[in-house]
Chains A and B, each alone.
Chain A
Amino acid sequence: MILKPCYHCGEDVPQDLNIQSEIDNNTVDFCCYGCQAIAEFIKGADLSSYYQHRTEKAESALEHDKLDNKFSLIKDPDLYPLYVYIDNDTHHIQMSLKGMTCAACAWLIETRLKQLEGVSSIHINLSTSLATLEWQPDTLDIIEITQEVQKLGYQATPYRADQSDLDIKQSKKTSIIRLGIAGVGMMQVMMSAIAIYAGDMQGMHDNFKQLLGWASFIFATPVVLYSAFPFFKAALRDLKTRHFTMDLPVSLGIGLAYISSVYSMITGTGHVYFDSVTMFTFFLLLGRFLEEAARHKSHSNNRNQQELSSAWLIQDGQATEVPLSKISINDIIAIKSGENIPVDGVITKGNTSVDESSLTGEYLPTNKTLGQSVVAQTINVEQNIEIRVTAIGKQTRAAAIERLTDRALGEKPKIAKIADNVAHYFVILVLLCASATFIGWTLAGSDEAYWIMISVLVVTCPCALSLATPVALTSATNKLKDIGLLVTRGHVIESLARCKHIVFDKTGTLTHGQFEIHQVVSTDKDESLAIASALELGSIHPIAKAFNKHTKHKAKDIRNVTGLGVEGMIDKARYRLGNANFMSDWGYQVDESHFAGLTIYLAKQDEGIIATILLQDRLRPNCQTSIRDLRQDSITVSLLTGDTQDSANAVLDEKEFDHFKYQMSPEDKWHWLNSQSNKSNILMVGDGLNDVPSLAGANTSIAMASSSDLAKIHADAILINSQINTINRAIRLAKKCQRIIKQNLFWAASYNTIMLPAAIMGYVPAWAAAIGMALSSLLVALNASRLSK
């Protein structure tokens, strides 16, 4: 039977679930009460047209596990002025929004907030997911405003731009202006150029020819001096470092062609190349602009999380919520179950279990008792505890990972780009040829020596050569985005093609990173699962995620017992769900399990065990076939996991990998990568905080879509669709791209080699050189467009 999609988020609605509402005179289904509440709220606010306008489905309300509101924190007098700009009674704030999928979402939030009294203006930028809000705090509290946003199904956090954000914004603006001026300039110069060429063929008075020349000069000048400025700057840097990249021949081409065009225009001799110069500049800038835009898009807005974390400080037996910045070492703080642990510390009260998966990759929580230490960036799962703070901020274990990351970045192997290697020798050759030609013809006593030299330079102008790589890379990058890999650094495609060794993380990368039900042994499976789901409802223990959130039962008196399981009442009967020790506590013995994953039991008081449930982290689809295919293409495949050997072997077969390493710390992973012989051909795929140093230090790295923000920032590409076989397709595409780049380079180089002797001999008239240059660039661009098919 076909499952109905949820009206709000589009996910499948389970069969026996019956959550329905009347919207626009239709009865519609929902996957959960959260989605229903959002849709009802939207309907109540008279904004139902959101559902007609949207082009993407919304995020499921089940994604919002914790709806904590960070805005209560900025009320702290120290933080308030950092986030809020005060203008008489109107206050201004920027918020970062999570969950927006299309323009309709932005419209929905804007329209809803404008309906509120006390909001003077709201503007949402969809590209950056930032909202600028102006409101009157006397009329309306900021917390009420952000609660409205939450009711619509989005998350808002206070945002404040740091220096790097401002720099990025400024450089983006400058790039747009440069590109715009180059585009407009190119069009104007082309128009004059057509007239000049037509005049050459049909005959035109010299006065008009000169007029058109001046016109193209006026339009080409800003393009060369302003738009092409970044190339000149980079070329100057090349000269200083004595390592020539493509920027040098590009600047040389643009600069010399421009200067000689100006000279020939003033003296009325020779040929003008303004058209070629502007077109060339525009296409190069366009390629760079697209690459930059993709990189900024992956930039996250949530870097000031640390500043917006809070803690419950215990003073004289009283707990008060204070910003994390006010906590110092040896303070006692309380951490509720389900909260993030913000600092390193030692437990002084209570027992609990802690989810340390972000640091170790081990997804089963570890039990922690009095006197044991807990570390920042982990999650307290079961009970409320109190800890004595031992390290804060930069001293914590998690901050040490960031420092390691910085070091790894510094030691990242240099990526040699093919085009830049070619460029190095090409520049030297061109300069030698041009000066030899000039000297030769001058010695031979020719008046035309200068013009022949310009011909040589134009013929060898690296247009086709320097366009050969960028146009192919741009097509390939777009194609990769379509198949599910977002490339954020320019070198990725070249290094993917050369990749000889892929290193995977396990939890969250090859597997989904959470428990799923493998098998249920019971007389009535459905009923047992429904009871188990009811008991686990609302729990944040990783095991709870395996159970359905839609259940017909309702459990009361739920009690979590650390390290054992959960107990609760359903229909006047008492149930327990947990491990073997929890069962024997009631006097029920269980058969020893040989299952490699995790075995838990469901018992009814006075009746005995009614179900055995086997749980396991599951591999992502196509994972095994992808790895086999990679190895068939003679690529080495390794696995590095922070997990124990047993838990790694439970889901993966050691024989499928060339190297299989377990219990690796973040440092171990990075050192292992560094110790490999072919480390410049390694591709690292990971997701967690523990992978970040390796992701930053590896030659090429891919982060999963569900990765931590830090992992995404340091990865070279992001696997948006989370399918492992996308990597196989990406490598194949990268190899094809590499072939096309080589064909392009070959064509450009042979064109230059054939034309060069002719130009040296003085047989190539300037106009023929210009047309040949344009045609060879066109051919290169057409060849690259084959990639997007």
Chain B
Amino acid sequence: MESLYLLIPIAALFVFIAVGIFTWAVKKDQFDDLDREGQRILFEEDDNDKK
């Protein structure tokens, strides 16, 4: 059980890194288009076929 003293702070560290990346992504306009990006992967495939 003593391992919790180490594991919980590590988990907290990960969460803060994740929140940091999320904030950075929002500021870099990654969340600007909530309608399209989810579908982009479906189209990219065609591009590669042609190349």
Contacts and interface: CB of A to CB of B under 8 A. Distances in A.
B12 A219 contact: yes
A626 interface: no
Contacts of A205: 1
A215 B4 CA distance: 11
Interface stretch (A25-33, A100-108, A676-684): A100-108
Contacts of A293: 34
Given A128-B32, A176-B26, A107 B43 contact: yes
Nearest to B27: A173
A409 interface: no
Complex A-B, nearest 5 residue pairs according to Cβ-Cβ distance, in ascending order = A126-B36, A103-B39, A107-B43, A125-B33, A126-B35
Interface in A32-77: 46, 49, 53
B43 A219 contact: no
Interface string A298-325: 0000000000000000000000000000
Contacts of A171: none
Contact of B23 (A124, A169, A177, A218): A177
Contacts of A111: 43, 47
B1 A173 contact: no
A173 B46 contact: no
Interface string A203-234: 00100100110010011001000000000000
Contact of A126 (B5, B23, B33): B33
A206 B39 CA distance: 50
Nearest to A49: B46
A14 interface: no
Contact of A53 (B1, B4, B19, B43): B43
A176 to B, nearest CB: 5
18 contacts: A49-B46, A103-B39, A103-B40, A103-B42, A107-B43, A125-B32, A125-B36, A126-B36, A173-B27, A184-B18, A184-B22, A205-B1, A208-B1, A211-B4, A215-B8, A218-B12, A219-B12, A293-B34
Nearest to A111: B47
Contacts of A49: 46
Contacts of A169: 32
Interface of A: 46, 49, 53, 103-104, 106-107, 111, 124-128, 169, 173, 176-177, 180-181, 184, 188, 205, 208, 211-212, 215, 218-219, 222, 293
A180 B43 contact: no
A106 B19 CA distance: 30
Contacts of B40: 103, 107
Given A103-B42, A180-B23, 16 more contacts: A53-B42, A103-B39, A103-B40, A104-B43, A107-B43, A127-B35, A173-B26, A173-B27, A173-B31, A176-B26, A176-B31, A180-B22, A180-B26, A211-B8, A215-B8, A215-B12
B32 A127 contact: yes
A106 B27 contact: no
B32 to A, nearest CB: 6
Nearest to A188: B15
Contacts of B8: 211-212, 215
A182 to B, nearest CB: 11
Contacts of B15: 184, 188, 219
A646 to B, nearest CB: 47
A111 B50 CA distance: 12
Contacts of A128: 32-33
Contacts of B18: 184
A107 B4 CA distance: 49
Contact of A103 (B4, B12, B23, B35): B35
A746 to B, nearest CB: 36
A447 B14 CA distance: 41
Contact of B36 (A106, A173, A188, A219): A106
Contacts of A125: 32-33, 36
Contacts of B23: 177, 180
Nearest to A46: B50
Nearest to B43: A107
Contacts of B27: 173
A50 to B, nearest CB: 9
Contacts of B19: 180-181, 184, 222
A499 B47 CA distance: 54
B24 to A, nearest CB: 10
Contacts of B11: 188
A169 B43 CA distance: 27
